[in-house]
Structures are given as structure tokens and as C-alpha cells.
Amino acid sequence: MTTAFIAHGSCRQHDMGRYHPECPARLDAVSDRLIASGIDKHVQHYEAPEATHPQLARVHDEDYIGMVEAASPESGVHHLDPDTAMNPHSLEAAVHAAGAVVLATDLVLDRECRAAFCAVRPPGHHAERRRAMGFCLFNNVAVGVAHALASGLKRAAVVDFDVHHGNGTEQIFCDDPRVIMTGTFEYPLYPYSGVDPLGPNMHNVPLRAGSGGDAFRKAMTEVCLPALEAHRPEIIFISAGFDAHRDDPLANLQFIESDYAWATQQLLQVADRHASGRIVSSLEGGYDLSALGRSAVEHIRALARL
């Protein structure tokens, strides 16, 4: 079985301003590096559909969805908070970003693909049930998890190795024993959460500024992987942020490309044991374009088992 690479042109049109770090060029950095590496020919390309209203409403309140739709400007940029804004293309991008994870979920459940990577933006893991924040409008991975559960799976897992804690994903699933969330993040750092878990199904590890691959691998080996083994997920979702890379300008961790490749390989082993190999990964952060491209492609190389 092949690995899916899911994208949509609208995700490049979402633009929060010339100097905003969450910029359209991030997707070009990934796709250009994918081609240059030769891995592009080893993945199957798909165009993301729009997530439907019922799919979004599994994880977001109806009033919140209506607010995001109403906030979509006809021109210019409209800010939802100091970090998160919409231009006239943002709503379309957001529903396609969430729809990409739904399609990825269907592809791995139907065994058309073993794994999938969603090269989409805006990212999603900070979006809560009723709140946009941290560059995020809809929680893409959460929409995918809810879709998997609605499709009949009984256990799912989210692994989030973005440098920022995925507060939205935690808030959405903290009282759902069918889902565990695990991963690492820098602390203290925006959004200044994650140290006190909201539920017993949350197994995230804060790392101090300056921590590198050794600390990451220790956290994965001692906390994250055992939590996954205990839960025996039938599908694994990855919030794949690459902003813990040592070259990233927005944080202070010291990961390198091989750390992401190693973590992905470990998750593949868990997925093979419990989930028939099913992994869905979706892009979150990563703001140094070169580091983002290199890291994402090593992650995709591992997903494709190359």
C-alpha cells in the first residue's frame, strides 16, 4: 500500500499578512523539498475535499462554526485574536484543511493507503471547541479523530510533537476515554498549558528550553510509547509540528531531522502492532522554511517506509 499526500490549492491562499510566520510559503517549502528528495514519486497525491458542517460540528460548537463563517472578510484581513486572522480565502482553506484529515482517515480505514500526510494550513491543534487561537481556526486532527470514531473505531490516539502544546486537542478530548493524547512540547511557552493534564487520558511531556533530541527520545520512550501500548489504538493521528527544530525562530528546542524520522519509525511500529499500520499525519507548526521542508520530508520518508 502507498502513502497519501493530501493538499489543496486554497491552503496557499490563506494569508494573515506579509510578516506573519504562518505563511503560504510553508507549503511550498514542503512540496519543493519533497520533489527535490525524489520522494514525491513514491507518494499518491490527493486533493482535499471540504469538511462538511456535521464533521466540523463533532468537535466544534455550532455557534463557533457560525462565528468563523461570519468572520470571513470580503477583502483585507480580519483578526480573531492578535495571532489569528482571516483573509477572503481563509474559510475555504480551513474547511479543506479539516477535510484533508477526513479524507486521510477514510483512505487508511478503507486500506487504499497505509499512511497519509496532510500538507495543509491553517494548522489546527490550538483550536478549541469554541475558540480560534494560535493561528488555528478548526482543529483538523480532532475532526479526523471524531470521524474515525464515528466510522466505528473504538480507540484512537493523537501524538503531538509540535513545540507548542496542543491545548485545543486536549480540551476537545479530555473527557473521552476512547482517545488518548501524548507527545512533547516546550514549557514555558505559548499557550502555557499542558503541565496539568485536563484528563487521565492526556500523557504529554513538557521539555525545558534548550532540550534536544536526547530529551525528546527519552520522553517518547518512557512516557509516550508506553501510553500508546497501553491504549492499543486502532488508528494513530500525528499533529506534526516541526517548530521544535533547532533552526526554528519561534521556540527554543533543539531537534533535528533525524529526531522526527526516529519518532515516526517508532510510531509506525506501534501502528503495526495495534492499528494495522494506520497513521494519519497533519502539518501543524514549523516556521524556518528550510528546516520545515527538510524535517517534513524525513517524516514523510519514514511514513512511506523508504
* Active site positions, annotated: 126
**Distance between CA atoms of 267 and 288, rounded to whole angstroms?**
25
Q: Amino acid identity of 149? A: L
**Which of 113, 184, 102 shows the shortest CA–CA distance to 145?**
102
Q: Do the beta carbons of residue 294 and residue 33 sit within 8 Å?
A: yes
Q: Is the C-alpha dihedral spanning 86, 87, 88, 92 positive or negative?
A: negative
